[in-house]
Structure 1
């Protein structure tokens, strides 16, 4: 294992200081380094210096099979996945509560499990030819260490996409929850444009954050603190916190999120929102959520003035304040269901949402 010398760390800081986002945001790097084990710290430093890819992130290509019991062998390293002339869909999962910065580097089996935990239903719909998606598209899936900052994850995602795809490809990203924020960083003007990415479909992404990642909200709601405290003890989780800055945003006492504010402001200035379609889950009644977790989250948000949500993300946040190219509400789908993840694979809510996403992708040149 390489030993990073002190001067390398200084070089890293100098490199970071030249990055175009406002400098004050980058206090997060210090926090990440302090929370990493020695092995992970060196790996992350090498990744941020551009010497090595981040070992906790990977893009897989999916090989359709015949069994709903998806095999890990169906997930092939994207570098080895055979390229075709088909258009490409890339699934990007959301926040994973099972990992922390201090955990060992994620092996491929764990990476694939992280993807399945979010998207197994959607992958099966693709495999079984729902809307002929497997005929017209190749499917790729991206995973990352969600406890790390969305800024570092987004930059790594940008690098990964650049390494795999060319400007002659047509790539459509389908991102759930935090994955939508990572994608926004990856496609931001400051990170570097990716012309082959034609469209991004966000599924319940907290574009203006979630109250459940905000300390003031958690402290004011003791039961909510039990639900959300696991978020705010990691850098990635903290960057999901609610912000009062944003079009049509309801005000939450003491809420702020400089990372999202700067990111969203950049998109407004450079017109980047025209590549995004925002899907938002709307629970008509909190008991329409499939699990007690989201039923409870919905009730807490409703009692706090957020009458429309998916149990985690308020409606206006998921819709980016109506500033994306198109906004689509999905009735009675909780936060997990917005990733096609219903309790039953053949649930019409899962099948219909998948079809709606594919339809939107097909309608875009």
Structure 2
């Protein structure tokens, strides 16, 4: 019976990937995203859907530590040209990027690097300045992608990028913020393929059971959320961040469902894949400790809806995968952005301590 159930979940997951990767990509994505004035761009994007070319909207960079906190674009080197060493590897992958839309032109290198900086500039500064001696033990890589695309498509492409850049003898540790954690879960799913060199994944405020703020039945009841909500649910990737009532310890939201996350999470349970994940959750003690009005407001909205513990975007239980991951860690008084080390001042103790804790967990993991 258990084998039949595993095969069924695997079958459904494969169908979901196929439906999104074929119907949605060939029709909807091509119509909305791939139509441009540049025929070569159209061809490149279309070929990437079939795995014949890398997707030009995603890229893996190696990072050269420098001396200035004003990080230069020259410190980001395309992974194919980044010198391989015997060090262990850390890969940072960012989350949702509200600055890019499906209809935008292909992202150039300057914009790709800026997308990475927007999430992880403090983390890169801590790395190059030797925080927790990370740069002595690890090489740092950074991955960027078009977040409005489906997490299923992005996950398969992330898988392909990892597979083509690392060997089975490497030791790779992924640090994923927000949506990046979901993309990573797809990349590591049994149905996607095998990545034995990925030893551990650290998720930072990833909505592993979704976020109410990408859920139509939740945002429709709050006028403050209308613009944000229509943007999120109006894209394939954004809609797949939606909240699910399924999962250990979930608070129920009327009308909330997310089939993509439900099947993905069930697959992880059936194939015992959660053991590779450490889940970090931001927990704001009150709704004034965030660094921006946006996250403090989000905290208030979630609190009033019964989510008394959150980072202003992702409820604690969702970020912790209902305590089903290998290890769960709460980080006090950090909003959603701060959970990616992004504080206004890079020397803020919350940013420094979180970076140190992530490196320590990687270093002390049994993998």
**Matches of 1:59 and 1:36, distance apart in 2:** 21
Equivalent residues in 2 for 1:265-344 (5 A)?
A: 265-344=266-345
How many Å apart are 1:232 and its aligned residue? 1.4
- Distance in 2 separating the partners of 1:343 and 1:327: 26
Query: Once the 2 structures are TM-superposed, how far is the Cα of residue 315 of structure 1 from its aligned partner?
Result: 0.6
* Cα distance between partner residues in 1 of 2:83 and 2:226: 46
Distance 1:18 1:269 in 2: 13
TM-score (norm 2): 0.92
Who is 2:129 aligned against? 128
Q: After TM superposition, give the deviation of residue 19 of structure 1 in Å.
A: 7.5
TM-score (normalised: structure 1):
0.93
Comparing 170-179 with 46-55, greater Cα deviation is found at: 46-55
What are structure 1's unaligned runs of at least 5 residues?
A: 1-16
Q: CA deviation at 1:225?
A: 2.1
Structure 1, residues 70-129: CA drift from partner, whole Å, max 9, x if none?
A: 000000000000000000000000000000111110000100000000000000000000
1:45 is matched with which residue? 46
| Cα distance in 2 for residues equivalent to 1:303 and 1:132 | 42
What are the equivalent positions in structure 2 for 1:1-365 lying under 5 Å apart?
Answer: 20-22=14-16, 26=20, 28-29=24-25, 30-39=27-36, 42-364=43-365, 365=367
1:85 aligned counterpart, secondary structure: coil
Contact 1:282 1:308 in 2 (8 A): yes
Query: Does the C-alpha gap of structure 1 residues 19 and 321 become closer, same or farther in structure 2, counting only changes over 3 Å?
Result: closer
How far apart, in 1, do the equivalents of 2:342 and 2:146 lie? 21
Q: Is the 8 A contact 2:159 2:188 kept in 1?
A: yes
Give the SS at the match of 1:231.
Answer: helix
Q: Distance in 2 between matches of 1:53 and 1:269?
A: 31
Q: Distance in 1 between matches of 2:50 and 2:18?
A: 20
Shift of the alpha carbon at 1:231? 1.2
Unmatched segments (≥5 aa) in structure 2: 1-10
